[in-house]
Amino acid sequence: MSIHQLYLIGGHPNETITLIEDPSLTRCRLICEFRGKFVHADEPDFFEALCVIRRELEKKNCILFCYGASLNIFPSPEMRRTAVGKVAHKLEMGQPATGENLVNIFEDGYDVIPSTVDCQNQYVKQWLHSQGQ
């Protein structure tokens, strides 16, 4: 069981949430503690579970500050299978996704571009188009 403290954008100054990975089920469960309440998501992989949690936070006008919530980050089908969605690619328009640009979705860095789930999905569609797909 891993625990992650992540900063929020749009929340109170220096506000964080706690995410707890629960791998005990056949699905990937994330438990989110946010402002004294708990939200959980049971999904096929941790990236998808994070997206469910992010949509709940977006209802409160909050966006997570981590790679999994960055505009240009998305897991390949292979990363969803082999790393249960905890590892994803940094995507650059016109450039293929490679093993050199992998990040942990629960970590952050100077290059995080905070995004909503919908904007991130739109970026992936544009990136796929830039790959001729």
pLDDT tens-digit readout, 103-127: 999 999 999 999 999 999 999 999 9
b/e sequence 42-72, b meaning 16+ C-beta within 10 Å: ebebbbbbbbbbbeebbeeebbbbbbbbbbb
Q: Is the pLDDT of residue 22 over 90?
A: no
This prediction has a pTM of: 0.93
| Dist. CA 63–CA 47, nearest whole Å | 15
Q: Is the pLDDT of residue 4 over 90?
A: yes
Tens of pLDDT, residues 33-90: 988 899 999 999 999 999 999 999 999 999 999 999 999 999 999 999 989 999 999 9
